[in-house]
Amino acid sequence: MAKNNKSNSIAGKNILLGVTGSIAAYKAPELVRLFIYGGANVKCILTANGSRFVTSLTLETVSKNKVFTDMFEEFEHSIEHIALSDWADIALIAPASADTIAKIASGRAEDLLSSTVLSMNKPMLVAPAMNERMWANPATAYNVEKLRSYGYSIVGPGCGELACGTSGMGRLANLEEIIQAVKNNLTIFKSGVRASTL
């Protein structure tokens, strides 16, 4: 897809990607690459658990931007989570672990990603990825519904083979599906209407 294609609604957009502690984090660099190919600018926030599955160096290499990891590291801005939320046209957490979903559903701000999410006033997408029993747990279902009630869009999860060797709901949504959800939410937000789910 050409970067100057007018139908490409991510061209020139600033996408903030949160990467959390799920085995599906290995797909994050490819997701960043696809966003860049579509003409978007991407900055990543990598959680401590997310860094066990993918490195900052990998994400920096594909995004051509600094990867943010620590709430208290030396930043260009004194309040970096506010600066990142101001920079972004849209924020996406992919993959979103059960723990991260619980944090943001509860309004906690204990790390850089959750603090940034709490300060966002732009479209927010969450792409869950976890074991099927964790996805089916009533606590997770409750937290996901809370996010929908806040106006967050939930993308997936899909059904299929999981890292633990079982099969069921919990796979990260197809990357093209995630990209389309980002495009849809940017269009909706531009029109002044906020959708809670896709």
Q: Which residues are catalytic?
A: 164
Residues ≥6 apart with Cβ < 8 Å to 34: 175, 176, 179
The continuous run of DSSP H or E covering 18 comes out as strand 14-19
Q: How many CB atoms lie within 10 A of CB 93?
A: 29
| Distance in angstroms (rounded) separating the CA atoms of residues 100 and 67 | 18
Where do we find the tokens 């957490």? 93
